[in-house]
């Protein structure tokens, strides 16, 4: 299996990519004709999809916390890979 930090970094990278993609599209996915929204050309489905991917940003924060905990255990507490696998 891959080392723990590889899985943590992959998860964080994926969640950052998804959240950044949702932010990139800004108002485009909002349903056409929504009052007061410039550039709204989407549908309810595209708006929901953007909301879903925007919520993935929360998982990025959680992956960052998990990575910080991992580094604390490995660097400060000098845990081995076997110790890390035991608590996974």
- Specify the pLDDT at position 7: 93
pTM above 0.85, yes or no: no
| Tally of residues, the chain | 88
| Cα of 35 vs its chain's centroid, Å | 30
Model confidence pLDDT, tens digit, residues 16-40: 999 999 999 999 999 999 999 999 9
């Amino acid at each position: 299996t891959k080392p723990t930090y590889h899985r943590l970094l992959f998860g964080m990278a994926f969640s950052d990519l998804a959240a950044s993609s949702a932010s990139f599209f800004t108002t485009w996915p909002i349903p056409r004709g929504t009052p007061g929204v410039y550039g709204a050309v989407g549908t309810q489905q595209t708006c929901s999809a953007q909301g879903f991917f925007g919520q993935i940003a929360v998982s990025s924060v959680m992956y960052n916390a998990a990575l910080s905990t991992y580094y604390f255990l490995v660097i400060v507490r000098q845990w081995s890979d076997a110790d890390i696998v035991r608590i996974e």
